[in-house]
Amino acid sequence: MAGRKDGDRGRGRGKEPQISDADRALWRKATQDTKPLEKRARTATADRPEPQVSEPKVPEASKAPAREAAASPRPSTGGTPRKTAAPDLEAGRASGLDRRKLERLRRGKLPIEATIDLHGDTQAVAHRRLGDFLTRSQAAGRRCVLVITGKGRPGGGGEGQASGVIRTNLPRWLNEAPNRDRVLAFAQAQPAHGGAGAFYVLLKRRPG
């Protein structure tokens, strides 16, 4: 009897419990909507949208200076700066020139190093000859030169000395470029050098 009970006990432990088809169907129905916990956690994390980081709003008042700075033109760093025009010269006057030297020029005390006589030339010829004369004189290192224009006769007609147009136009010609860049001052000559029909012209030192 004892042997039979032990054998029956051994056989009972070795057998799997019998589950009916109805029980299996009921279990599947009860667990069909169930998901593993880890998978659900991963899915929820993956579906969650990333937080949006918004930039801080800048007040319109603080944007205005930046827009104005961008719109305003920047100062140029290249190129040659614009040269300031020299003031017009008048007979017997000059700004920036030593008064003592100007007085010597007016009195004819400076050595005359070259002379040109425009007396009798037409305006076009006199204008061209004057420019060439001043260019050559400065290049040669001369400082004081004498320009003879002639006095002219009142009521004279035509061009040249007869109407005094050369004498009248000389101040304007001396103030024109490139003559103005070469001339420091001019003054009517003393009687010994032609008086009202001639002018002393003081030149700048040659460049370099």
Choices 3.30.1370.110, 3.40.640.10, 3.30.390.30, 3.40.50.150: CATH for 99-203? 3.30.1370.110
- Cα separation, 61 vs 5, in Å, equals 99
pTM (2 d.p.): 0.57
pLDDT of 135 over the 60 cut: yes
Structure confidence at residue 160 as a pLDDT band (50, 70, 90): very low
**In which band, very low, low, confident or very high, does the pLDDT at 54 lie, cut at 50, 70 and 90?**
low
Strand partners, 198: 148
Answer whether 187's CB lies under 8 Å from 90's CB: no
State the Cα–Cα distance between residues 158 and 115, nearest whole angstrom: 25
pLDDT at 157: 46
From the number of C-beta atoms within 10 Å of its C-beta (0-12, 13-18, 19+), residue 189 rates as buried
The residue ranges of DSSP E strands in 138-204, in sequence order, are 144-148, 183-188, 198-203
Is residue 100 predicted with pLDDT exceeding 80? yes
DSSP single-letter state for residue 57: P
For the chain, percent of residues with pLDDT exceeding 90: 46
Q: Where are the domains of the chain?
A: 99-203
Mean pLDDT is lowest, of 33-37, 97-101, 104-108, for 33-37
Under the phi-then-psi rule, with left for phi > 0, alpha for psi from -120 to 50, and beta for the rest, what region is 106? alpha
pLDDT digits (tens, 9 = 90+) for 144-159: 999 999 987 655 544 4
Q: How confident is the model at residue 94 (pLDDT cuts 50, 70, 90)?
A: confident
Res 15 pLDDT > 60: no
What is the rounded distance in angstroms from the CA atom of residue 186 to the CA atom of residue 102?
A: 9
Average pLDDT of span 87-99: 86
